[in-house]
Amino acid sequence: MTIQSLCMQRVLGAETKSLIEALHKPVSFWESPAKHKMSTLALISQTGDPAAIPDMVLLLLDRDRDVSRSAAEAVSKLTRLLSPSELPWLDLVMRERSPYRWSYPSAWAELRPDQLPLLERFGSESVDALGMASMHFSGYVRDEALRKLSDAQGGIELPFLLLRLNDWVQEVRHTAHLLVRERLTTQYAPFFVSSIALVNRLRLVRRGHQAEIVGAIERLLKSKDCQEAVEIGMRSPDGHVKRACYELAFESASFDQVPLIERALSEKDPAVRLRGAERISVLPNAESMDHLLSRARDDRFAPVRRKALQVFSERFPERARPWLEHALTDSHPSLRGYAQFELGKGSDFDLRAFYQGVLGKSEPATLYAAISGVGETGISSDTSLVIAHLSHRVPRVRRAVLRTLARLHAEEFVDIFAERLLDHAPNVSREAMRGLAKDLHLITGERLWRVFAVATEDHVRRNALFLVARLSKWESIGYLVEALDSNAEDLRKLAESYLRRWYAQFNSSFTAPTKPQVERLTVAMQKSGASLDRSIRGQIEFGIRAF
């Protein structure tokens, strides 16, 4: 995965694009160019669209001081709307603005290091203006911009410095490294926390030696003096910040781990809850582990439940059996699979008999898991135990029945799969499609086409067409051509994609079509008219010319 692929992209909105065009458009003789630019800049800043920033920075150097100040205010306002994790996108776009790739005539493209004092005249907005210069395509400008930012001590400059730690010019990286090191103080801890996404991004880069500076930042944030900043970060609405701060807290001696894990297990973010469940295993106190694992076992996120089960089984094997038996009826296959594996190690536990017993009770809470468990541990004769639930009112139960039938004895239930292909629930119809696909040779194209023809729901017709496309070469083509006459555009497009695949694979089989297949295909081609691709039509006519 490249750094570029991790950059969050911003696309210029239609309204903003129109305003930018107006910003650089010549005005009439009677209109003040300065007032026109200032009013347009104000409108652009009101859009809240940071994608406009690269097209506004050129006005930071405008000869009219009022215009340049308005540009600085607009750039600053929109820059503050970006999270630190989005700054790499802005950096990428800004660096692409060379003299040969600028949309409008621009003094910014010709910016020299000795002109940077012009960006220091905007008061509090100067930091963002210099930050834009630190993204300039010229390494000399970037380096000088960093030196100008060295005087800023408010923390706003830190994201720009962290970005340049990955600069492709060694001298710029060195300057950024020195400036970041100067800021490794307790006072800067909140700013490092808010920019933690940029710190973590440095782990992925290959330029320079970033492990040292990343390690220094982490040591600072793990210290007791920075505990409050990390605490605040753990309450951040930004997912990057929250997860990173929890990770710092887990690895810090300053935090009491038991309440920290309990707090993590209460978070809405499932990734934080999972990390909390993973940390339970490092606790030395068995009583604390017991309490936290019991809480994690009931989490709504399956990976958290599975981790709790795994930790409990490994730390308390003598007490694990009730937990494992409980997991056998979990709705998620990963928990059932883990429990089945652990209990299956011993010779005294009959998984098949267990699921038969649970299924016999037919309790709504465990019915889905029991039917799934029969499919995971049973034999072909066990299909008689689940087939009674084929018409259950809950779709996922019907789906579990079909999956179990397909696992244990699919070829015996082709008729049932064909009927359930028409199920009103998309997931049930899809499961029936999968069951038929396992033994597609047992069903005729004519029967599948009848399902497609009588169905009123798109999901049924898509599933039927999926199966039709996987029939033999000359069995499928007639129905696919006929599907081009469908009244639904998405189905026509689907049929076209299957036809293109048929065409691409034409020479992979040299079987000859039967007379009924040729007759059906001929009629279908007559009906399809101009909707059939000319090259595909030619290939079909070539294939059946002797018949």
* CA distance linking residue 93 with residue 386, whole number of Å: 59
Among 285, 279, 195, which Cα is nearest to 241's?
Answer: 195
Which amino acid makes up residue 547? F
Helix axes 211-222, 239-250, angle to 10 degrees: 80
pLDDT in tens, 21-31: 888 787 776 77
pLDDT in tens, 203-227: 887 666 788 999 999 999 999 999 9
Q: What is the 3-state secondary structure (H, E, C) of 249-285?
A: HHCCCCCCHHHHHHHHCCCCCHHHHHHHHHHHHHCCC
- What are the start-end ranges of the H helices in 413-488? 414-420, 426-438, 445-454, 458-469, 473-483
Residue 108: pLDDT over 90: no
Residue 428 covered by a domain: no
Residue 365 token pair: 């809470």
* Neighbouring C-beta atoms of residue 44, cutoff 10 Å: 25
pLDDT at res. 534: 80
Residue 304 covered by a domain: no
* CA distance linking residue 47 with residue 39, whole number of Å: 13
Residue 317 covered by a domain: no
* CA distance linking residue 368 with residue 83, whole number of Å: 43
* CA distance linking residue 406 with residue 496, whole number of Å: 30
Residue 93 covered by a domain: yes
pLDDT in tens, 270-283: 999 999 999 999 99
Q: Which domain holds residue 18?
A: 1-183
Residue 199 covered by a domain: no
Question: What are the C-alpha distances in Å from 355 to residues 204, 313, 335, 341, 366?
Answer: 47, 21, 15, 15, 10
- What are the start-end ranges of the H helices in 298-382? 302-315, 321-327, 333-344, 351-361, 364-377
* CA distance linking residue 368 with residue 404, whole number of Å: 11
Q: How confident is the model at residue 5 (pLDDT cuts 50, 70, 90)?
A: very low
Phi, psi of 197 (to 5 degrees): -65, -35
Residue 266 covered by a domain: no
Please, which residues have CB within 8 angstroms of residue 362's CB and are 6 or more apart in sequence? none
Question: HSE of 24 in the Cβ direction (CA atoms, 13 Å)?
Answer: 16
Residue where a domain terminates, one of 137, 156, 183: 183
Residue 43 covered by a domain: yes
Output the DSSP codes for 104-173. Answer: S--SGGG--GGGGGGGGSSGGGHHHHHHHHTT-S-HHHHHHHHHHHTT--SSTTHHHHHHHTT-SSHHHH
Share of the chain above pLDDT 70, in %: 96
pLDDT in tens, 151-162: 888 899 999 999
* Number of domains present in the structure of the chain: 2
Mean per-residue pLDDT for 166-195?
95
pLDDT in tens, 464-518: 999 999 999 889 988 998 898 888 899 989 999 998 898 888 888 888 888 888 8
Question: HSE of 471 in the Cβ direction (CA atoms, 13 Å)?
Answer: 23
pLDDT at res. 4: 43
Please, which residues have CB within 8 angstroms of residue 369's CB and are 6 or more apart in sequence? 328, 329, 330, 331, 336, 358
Residue where a domain terminates, one of 167, 183, 199: 183
Share of the chain above pLDDT 90, in %: 68
Q: Is 208 left (phi over 0), alpha (psi -120 to 50) or beta?
A: left
Residue where a domain terminates, one of 136, 165, 183: 183
CATH of the domain at 164: 1.25.10
pLDDT in tens, 250-266: 999 999 999 999 999 99
Residue 530: pLDDT over 90: no
* CA distance linking residue 420 with residue 408, whole number of Å: 17
Please, which residues have CB within 8 angstroms of residue 249's CB and are 6 or more apart in sequence? 230, 231, 234, 255, 260
pLDDT at res. 358: 94
Residue 334 covered by a domain: no
